[in-house]
Structure 1
């Protein structure tokens, strides 16, 4: 039997990080359903403390998700999950972002201007990449 999955990234501020990654990948932040959230609170299954406001919209405090514009058929969902601690060590898992026909240098420059940090360039045989970190320090490689 084959399974599906979502990728979960720990974050001190999941909503801004989801926004950043949605923009970086050309994906979409999953919309919040304010009526659903209020219904869950009214039913006693959550409290107002479980929520926050992000960009003027009521959202769950514990996380935000993004997905490919083609839906889950295009790529797995990425969930940014609230954790109390900041990132302190190198990632053991990271994303390799493939830019297709886009100009890799232009993509790197755009991401740096939006808050990414340059870490190093890499090469192995015919493959080259640039390793960056997102605004919260999570490493990823931009494949050339």
Structure 2
């Protein structure tokens, strides 16, 4: 039996990081369902402390998610999950974002302009990539 999955990235600030990654990948942040959130509070399944406001919308404090514009059939959902501590060591898993050899430098330049940091330039035979870190230090490769 095959299973579906989502990718989860731990973060101290889920909503801005989801915005950054949605922009980086050309994906969409899942919209907030304020009516659902308010209903959960009214029914006692959540409290106001479980929420926050981001870009003028009521959202769950614990996380934010992004999706490929073509939906979950095209690519798994990425969830940015609130954790109490910042990242302190190298990731053991990372995403390779395939933009094509002609686009690597312009994409890296755009993302560093939005808070990413270049960590490493790599090459294996004819293939090359640039490893960067997002604004919270999570590594990804632009290839």
Normalising by the residue count of structure 1, what TM-score does the alignment of the two structures yield? Answer: 0.97
Secondary structure, counterpart of 2:72 in structure 1? helix
Is 2:53 the counterpart of 1:48?
A: no
Residues 1-144 of structure 1 aligned to structure 2 (within 5 Å): 1-100=1-100, 103-143=103-143
Q: How many residues were matched structurally?
A: 143
User: In 2, distance between residues paired with 1:99 and 1:105?
Assistant: 10
Spell out, residue by residue over 1:71-120, the C-alpha distance to the aligned partner (whole angstroms, 9 max, x if none).
Answer: 00111000000000000000000000001476211111101101100101
After the TM superposition, list the runs of 4 or more consecutive aligned residues in structure 1 that deviate by more than 2 angstroms.
none
Give me the CA root mean square deviation.
Answer: 1.0
Gaps of 5+ in 1: none
User: In 1, distance between residues paired with 2:102 and 2:14?
Assistant: 28
User: In 1, distance between residues paired with 2:138 and 2:101?
Assistant: 25
